[in-house]
Amino acid sequence: MKKYRITKYNPTLRDKYGRYTQCDWTSCSDIGKEYVGKLFEVEDYLSIEQKYFQSILFILQEMDINCLEVTKLEKRRTLNQIEEFVHGKSLSISERGKDIFTSICDNDLIFIEDIFILMQLVLRECLWCRLVSPSTNFVVEFGYDYYMYVLCDDLQKELISKIQDLGMFVEIIDLDKFE
């Protein structure tokens, strides 16, 4: 399998160790802060969050995957705590998102219509999990600082181009270096 890092971060702005060198937001927690002389607003956040969803949608469609299994689930906050947290950033959690948060368990299958709600909960720091295809070699997980990783056999050049056209960056990662 190959590991792809799909992010909002331009890889030409990394140092020789792979660290991103620019001052940029890394979380919804940063909404309301200033970066490079510009206030980071909720609309900016939502625009990028949508690009992450669209990237995964392209991949799932290409690979004909309609559900993923939740693994390694971590919930470190209560529903009340996450509602307070996201509300403090002028964000919200949908009623379906609240239902998913309270009911989701390891090994649950989540279908495409709810995958994006679950991803939103992960990106908004409400919970963390890996999403694994039960039918093919495919895993998606999120790292610190708004990094998304996809492990799969191969992403076709046309698919990578589609993702990059969104304004996202796709990098192949050396598995030995980052595992």
Q: What percent of the chain has pLDDT over 70?
A: 97
Q: Full-prediction pTM beyond 0.85?
A: yes
Burial zone of 105 (CB within 10 Å; 0-12 exposed, 13-18 middle, 19+ buried) = exposed
Long-range contacts of 60-67 (CB under 8 A, 24+ apart): 60/112, 60/115, 62/155, 62/156, 62/159, 63/133, 63/136, 63/138, 63/152, 65/112, 65/133, 65/135, 65/136, 65/138, 66/111, 66/112, 67/109, 67/110, 67/111, 67/112, 67/115, 67/133, 67/134
pLDDT tens for residues 15-54? 998 889 999 999 999 999 999 999 999 999 999 999 999 9
Structure tokens at 55: 């990237």
Side chain identity at residue 66, one-letter code? N
pLDDT digits (tens, 9 = 90+) for 71-89: 999 999 999 999 999 999 9
Q: How far is CA 11 from CA 5, 18, 38, 168, in A?
A: 10, 8, 22, 10
Distance CA 88, CA 154 (A): 40
Torsion on CA atoms 126, 129, 133, 138, rounded to nearest 10 = 110
